[in-house]
Amino acid sequence: MAGLREQQKEQRRQAIAEAAIALFESKGFQQTRMEDIASSSGVSVPTVFKYFPSKQAILFEFLKNADRQALDRARAEVDFSGDPLDAMCLLEEAITVSELEVMPVVLWREILPLILFSPRSELPATYLKMNEKLVEDIVEFLTEMQQHGMIRQGADLHTAAFMLNDYSHLQLNRLIRDEPLDWEAHRVNVRATTALVLYGIADSTQD
């Protein structure tokens, strides 16, 4: 019976989250109230708060799953004996594709500027933890690259992961401005920026 109850709770949680995402897309994130989410999912407002303390928590629940899927996808597709720049660009695209799969572009256009340009003190703790976890996951991916000889020993992988994660948000913000999405330009921009992180700007011919 305990297993059945847990399954029912998870189903209810998923139903609330899916109803919320549909409302965010149709009404807008800012205009959607927790009361709207409760009504759409057929539960009471206290029940919604039981599963999610805020609208932001619902969004970040989806994004957390997307990031995990992206890392798994990148690991399955990467060639650890190939070009390290290709591997890093593959990771960025896996993250971007997964994020766009779990949330529609119209919703990203509304919430991404709030994430990018709000003071850190105003960002929900849920998002900060999720973002820190994504940086850790990128470090893990870079560590695997390092173990395969694609990145030099002693490289500051945490700083590299932090830069790649932050810049991927800016690149996503640029990508979603256009309709349809200009993936070709996005890939060119990502590759140029990632190459800068990977190879630096120093003159390698200097002693």
**Model confidence pLDDT, tens digit, residues 127-147:** 788 889 899 999 999 999 999
To the question of domain 56-199 being in CATH 1.10.357.10, the answer is yes
Instruction: Report pLDDT for 203.
Output: 67
- C-alpha 134/C-alpha 32 separation (Å) is 27
Triad 6, 8, 12: Cα angle to 5°: 115
Instruction: Report pLDDT for 74.
Output: 92
Instruction: Report pLDDT for 128.
Output: 83
The fold of 1-52 is: Arc Repressor Mutant, subunit A (1.10.10)
Instruction: Report pLDDT for 205.
Output: 60
Domain with CATH 1.10.357.10 in the chain: 56-199
Could you say which residues of the chain have pLDDT below 70?
Answer: 1-2, 203-207
Instruction: Report pLDDT for 60.
Output: 81
- C-alpha 84/C-alpha 90 separation (Å) is 10
